[in-house]
Structure 1
Amino acid sequence: MQFYSTNNKALRVSFQEAVFNSLPEDKGLYMPEAIPQLDPYFIKNIQQYSFQEIAFTIAKAFIGDDIPENDLKEIVNEAINFDAPVRFLDAETAVLELFHGPSYAFKDFGARFMSRIMGYFSQKGDQLLDVLVATSGDTGGAVALGFLGVEGTRVTILYPKGKVSKVQEEQLTTNGQNIRALEVEGTFDDCQALVKQAFNDKELNGVLRLTSANSINIARLIPQTFYYFWTYAQLKSQGMDEIVFTVPSGNFGNIGAGLLAYKMGLPVSHFVAATNVNDTVPRFLKNGQYEPKPSVQTLANAMDVGNPSNWVRIQDLFDQDLAQLKAKITSYTYNDQETVQGMEELFEKYKYVACPHTAIAYLASKAYRLDQPGHYASVFLSTAHPCKFPEAIKPEVYQYVKLPEGASLLADKEKQATEMPVDYQTFKTYLLVNN
């Protein structure tokens, strides 16, 4: 299958080129030339398949013969080697836990799959592949661990100083080897802008072989569809098949993957986009005016995005039709005080310890059920393990958090990061001098 730019549908590139280029020259984002439709028999009997079998079927639909079947199976089985379980809190409310990977965040699905795709396409003797990534929290750790030690790659992670949690910072600054961290004196949007500017710098691209590991890369988006189908399989096995997904949304890649899954044939009744006070998309759905604004720091820092890159993909999926978008997506916004109340309510009502992002999704799922009562499975996504946010969770609740294996060792590792102003020329010089 070929892929086009959201700014120019006449432009067509291969999957391999879309993965390595990340961002088309016209500054659009890559999308598949046609949304693959999965066999209705597969969907109807999806509960009979394993997570890896489902993931392979979806990956094959996008990648086709660009990667031989046996090689693709190996990539999928190696990348998706952990579960995404659905845990019911009551008869009709469930949480999809996406934090069982190595960095304890949902970004592991995309980062691990993408790193192995890039490793597969990169041949020995090729020029070193420089992976640039901006992170508002979880992406950095997932990409660092996904690419750590991958031959022929070097990763440079830009993160906003003082705006990620302690565990998040440790995950992206203590690796060494082929992983570099830049502590930017700005916001996530500043980090993202620096990365985008680098991709559009012809002089820099003439020296370095640049690619992105952000959700702007199509190889990050595809594997995020896997767990939406896997959730449906788990529900089907329990006799449930009507589902509403509530997704904590910052850069809108996660919910974009869910909508892509829906377009592929996954029967989803509705999507709820749950945001913090960075509410560019909720305001757009309300008044039809897309007006990005500088991001605001919140407890749910991975969602602190004022100008979400992936929104153009979602608009593309719905042919820029606002009425279609509003028919399929509802959005709710919550401030820090409400987020804390959501975490407390989850613990008091269900004895469930959640991170701030998960709490926002819970609140939005509850609000949607009040607005749209009915018999359906309300599944909200838990995108990060609560151990990554000790500062945001009350000590009397945090004491019940079970640390994943290896989490306690992070604090003992040495921080390796370079401070960087929000200045493109400084960033460019750093990349060239440290080539």
Structure 2
Amino acid sequence: MKYYSLNKIAPNVSFKNAVIKGLAPDKGLYFPKKIKPLIKGFYKNINYFSNEEIAFEVIKQFIGNEIPESDLKEIIAETINFDFPLVNIEENISTLELFHGPTMAFKDVGARFMARCLGYFNKQESTTKVTVLVATSGDTGGAVASGFLGVKGVDVVILYPSGKVSNVQEKQLTTLGQNITALEVDGTFDDCQAMVKKAFLDKDLISNKNLTSANSINVARWLPQMFYFFFAFKQLKSKNKEVVFSIPSGNFGNICAGMMAQQLGLPVKQFIASTNVNDIVPNFLETEIYTPKPSKQTISNAMDVGDPSNFVRVLEIYKNDISELKKHLSSYSFNDDETRTAMKHLKENCNYIADPHGAVGYLGLKKYLTENNAQGIFIETAHPVKFLDVVEPVINETIELPAQIKEVIDREKVSIEITTYNELKQFLLKM
């Protein structure tokens, strides 16, 4: 499989090179040259396939012969060795829980898949040590840290905004040690992301360091997220109803992966991008003018993004035809008060504890269903325990710490504070 840059200037590259480079030399995100729908019999017989078999069929065309079938199947088995349950909430509404992995966030799948692909490529040839550079607004950091921990030939540097991630999230990305380093940035997630992007375009830096990214701009982080939507479809009792997915959206990697699943033939009527007050995409769909702006801090911090990187991929899927995009995408924004109200409602009326992001997904789905008849699924992206300071006061209940969290919560935080890009650059050059 070949990948091209969405800026259309850089040469096409292989899957391996797209993974190692992360971002194209012309600053563009990589996108697969071809998307071939799966045969209809696959969907008809999906109940008979294991999750591993489903994932293999979904991802294999995007990797081609660059990873042998047996190795790819092993990578998949290690990536998705936990549950993805579809839980009934209300009539015609379910939630797909994506928090049963090691860091209790949906990003575990992409991080684990990418780490294992990079590990495979490193084993095949004595390449220069790779430095994975990643910005996080919350869950990406912990998932990447866990996924890449101990991978030979790979150093991981995580930038996160000081004071703007939860205590649990911070512990997950600052306490592992080994080949993982956390840089605590005096600023917002957008500042962290801007530093990472600048590093990839710094000729002096990239001539000395082999940099790649583990944000969803990397194809090996982004594409495995297609798996979720197939796993949800498999669990539906009725596959004849029209299905809509509401996805809490920040950098738009997850919803973009869902749209790729739709391109493969997955029967999805509509995607709903549910956002917090960082409402760039809802505004775009209303005005047809894309206007990035500084992110605002909210209780659903993983969606505090003022310029979602993956939205350019969403546009590419629909050939930059906004009218066609609107046929497949709705988007609504909600504030913190509305989010808390939804969390309270879900606990009191549905006996379900949602994290703030899942609550936003629920709100978006409810709003869509007021005017449309469909079977709705909202994505629950992280375990509520990762947001104790937000969730517990709302539901007036203490949440028991799962084993994955007990393992890190009492560890000592180790981070390096930085303010400027130059501090980042000097740190990387000295590694």
Q: Structure 2 length as normaliser, TM-score?
A: 0.97
Superposed CA deviations along residues 320-344 of structure 1, whole A, max 9, x for unmatched, are 1110111111111001111111110
The one-letter code of the counterpart of 2:106 is F
1:126 equivalent to 2:123? Answer: no
1:400 CA drift (Å): 5.5
Superposition pairs of residues 113-192 of structure 1, within 5 angstroms: 113-123=113-123, 125-192=126-193
Partner of 1:231: 232
Q: By how many angstroms is 1:411 displaced?
A: 2.5
Partner AA of 1:357 in structure 2: H
What corresponds to 2:75 in structure 1?
75
2:353 is aligned with 1:353: yes
- Of 371, 376, 379, which aligns to 2:377? 379
- The aligned amino acid for 1:392 is V
The equivalent residue for 2:407 is 409
AA in 1 matched with 2:324: Q
- The one-letter code matched in structure 2 to 1:409 is E
Cα distance, 1:9–1:42 mapped onto 2, change above 3 Å:
farther
Change (3 A) 1:137 1:10: closer
- d(CA) in 2 for partners of 1:128, 1:274: 39
Which residue does the alignment assign to 1:276? Answer: 276
Residue type matched to 2:290 in 1? Y
**CA deviation string 1:232-274 (max 9, x = no partner):** 1111x55555210000000000100001110111110001000
Q: Distance in 2 between matches of 1:400 and 1:392?
A: 11
CA displacement at 1:106 relative to structure 2? 0.2
**CA displacement, residues 253-300 of structure 1 (integer Å, 9 cap, x when unaligned):** 010000111011111000100000001111000001100000000000
The change in CA–CA distance for 1:240 and 1:9 in structure 2 (over 3 A counts) is farther
Q: Which residue of 2 aligns with 1:198?
A: 199
Give the C-alpha shift of residue 36 in structure 1. 2.1
Counterpart-to-counterpart distance in 2, 1:329 and 1:377: 16
Structure 1 residue 410: deviation in Å? 2.0
Following superposition, the deviation at residue 388 of structure 1 comes to 0.2
Matched ranges for 1:207-246 at <5 A: 207-235=208-236, 237-246=237-246
Q: Is the 8 A contact 1:295 1:304 kept in 2?
A: yes
Alignment deviations for residues 139-184 of structure 1 (CA, whole Å, 9 cap, x no partner) = 0000000001111111000000000000000000000000000000
1:26-45 correspondence to structure 2 within 5 Å: 26-45=26-45
TM-score (structure 1 length as normaliser):
0.97
Structure 1: state its 5+ residue gaps: none
Identity within the alignment, %: 53
Q: 2: distance between equivalents of 1:308 and 1:10? A: 22
Q: What is the aligned partner in structure 1 of residue 315 from structure 2? A: 315
Which whole-Å CA distance do the structure 2 matches of 1:304 and 1:27 have between them? 23
Q: Which residue of the partner structure matches residue 366 of structure 1? A: 366
**Aligned residue type for 2:162:** K
Instruction: Report if the CA contact (8 A) 1:353-1:401 is conserved.
Output: no
**2:181 counterpart SS class:** strand
Deviation for aligned residue 1:401: 3.0
Secondary structure in structure 2 of the residue aligned to 1:131: strand
Q: Which runs of 5+ in 2 are unaligned?
A: none
Aligned counterpart, 1:60: 60
Distance 2:163 2:316 in 1: 35
Shift in Å at residue 83 of structure 1?
1.4
User: Is the 2:108–2:144 Cα contact (8 Å) retained in structure 1?
Assistant: yes
Q: What's the Cα RMSD here?
A: 1.3
2:424 counterpart of 1:427: yes
Q: Specify whether residues 241 and 385 from structure 1 end up closer, same or farther in structure 2 by C-alpha distance, changes over 3 A only.
A: same
